[in-house]
Amino acid sequence: MKPAPAWRRHVGWLWLSLMSFTALILLITYETRWVHPEIHAYFSQSGNLTGQQLATRSRGYLQESLGLLLEGADEPAHRERALFQLELAYSLFDIGLYRREYACTEPNLARLDRLGQRLQAGEAPTPTELNRSLLAPIGCLTEIEMGQLDRRGLATNQFVEETRRHQTLVLLGSLLIYVLGIVFWWMHERQRRSAERATRESLKWMSRAMLDPLTGVGNRSALNEEIVQREGRPVGLLLIDIDFFKQYNDALGHPDGDRLLRRLAMLIDESLAGQARLYRMGGDEFAALLDCHEDATLAGDCQRLTEQLRAASLDHPAHPHSDHVTLSIGAARFIAGEAGLALGYAAADQALYRVKGEGRDGWEVARVEAAAGNAGA
């Protein structure tokens, strides 16, 4: 089974973190938006059916009825209006909850019923009868009001307690989600940094793998990489071979041979005015790659390099034909690309061998003709 790609693990933690923070926002939104109407429904005291206690309203109508009847029970209009108030009072008194919770409700509703029947029949109750018929229900309603206030108080305390518990849970939940979000984010950040570090390391190693450790210039792989980078552009390639380098090493030892390699790398770079990329292709062979549109320019570069080497007069005690270090140079121009490099490299190499065959210490620019990657085509 293949392990999950790094980016997926990376996104996983980020995703979890974002989900946590989203959950936190949703929770807060829910709490602020949906809990408020519940509080309103519980504690709003006005503007709705039960805002004022039904018992209170009922008691008000009974008191009005009592007032009217005490003022003039003999008057039919008073009685009729009192009866109307009595009916309103009855309707607000005759509530299932009151019947169930308050024992005084049923008998007092019956009293009101009897009084209503008498008023409807046109009878005028005496003050004593009114006291008996209305004061007792008023007293019952007062008892209900007090009882309901107590119940509301209890409900309020319960609600407050539940709200407090709920808020504690929400707070703990929010903290947990928040901490989880932070942890997930930290994991994501840790993974991201780790991935970045790994990438940097890889690049460093890749870079090291492309360098010649002795001279610090590129190696053959770096040349191939550079050709890919310059794909399609006209380039010139110089293959530079140190004449009788083995003899140099044999005479002066490998440490001096290594120093010569480093010195020559610097000299080639200076001669080509820093315009070329240098590569060490093997023991005593360098390559230089540079943008080049004409063979004449390439020839000029070869000539300048040869002259500067002569000017440098680097001693070579084991050289059979000279006292100084000499170079054999083969060069070719081509269009950068895989095929172009193969052709160009082969042409430059052949030119190099021709120079060597002709006694070394010289240069030749090969003419790359009838080839797919020919820069002159």
Partner 1 sequence: MLSSCHGGFRLFVGLCAGATLMLSAAALASPDHLVLKQGEQARSLAIDDLRERADQHFRFFDPYEAEEVEVRGLVFRELLEAEYGEVPQRLTFTAWDDYEVTLGGWDDPNWILVTHQNGEALGLRDRGPLRLVERDYGDRDPENLRNFNDWVWMIRSIEAVP
**HSE-up (13 A, CA, CB side) for residue 263:** 14
Decide if residue 31 touches partner 1 (CB under 8 A).
Answer: no
Decide if residue 78 touches partner 1 (CB under 8 A).
Answer: yes
Three-state DSSP state, 155: helix
Find how far residue 175's CA is from the centre of its chain. Answer: 21
Three-state DSSP state, 240: strand
Decide if residue 121 touches partner 1 (CB under 8 A).
Answer: no
**Cα distances (Å, whole numbers) of residue 165 to 38, 40, 83, 339:** 16, 19, 50, 78
CB of 139 to partner 1, least distance (A): 20
CB of 84 to partner 1, least distance (A): 5
**HSE-up (13 A, CA, CB side) for residue 320:** 7
Decide if residue 84 touches partner 1 (CB under 8 A).
Answer: yes
The span of 27-35, 83-91, 124-132, 226-234 binding partner 1 (CB under 8 A) equals 83-91
Q: Which two tokens stand for residue 7?
A: 């980016």
Decide if residue 94 touches partner 1 (CB under 8 A).
Answer: yes
Among 61, 184, 245, 286, binds partner 1 (CB under 8 A): 61
One-character DSSP codes across 123-151: ----HHHHIIIIIHHHHHHHHHHHHHHHH
Decide if residue 57 touches partner 1 (CB under 8 A).
Answer: yes
Decide if residue 80 touches partner 1 (CB under 8 A).
Answer: yes
Note whether 66 and 133 are within 8 A (CB). no
Decide if residue 117 touches partner 1 (CB under 8 A).
Answer: no
Angle 265-330-364 from CA coordinates, rounded to 5° = 125
Q: How many residues does the chain have?
A: 377
Decide if residue 313 touches partner 1 (CB under 8 A).
Answer: no
Please identify, using beta-carbon distances, which residue of 51 and 255 lies nearer to partner 1.
Answer: 51
Among 27, 56, 63, 75, binds partner 1 (CB under 8 A): 75
Binding site for partner 1 (CB under 8 A): 41-42, 47-51, 57, 61, 75, 77-78, 80-81, 83-84, 87-88, 90-92, 94-97, 99-100, 116
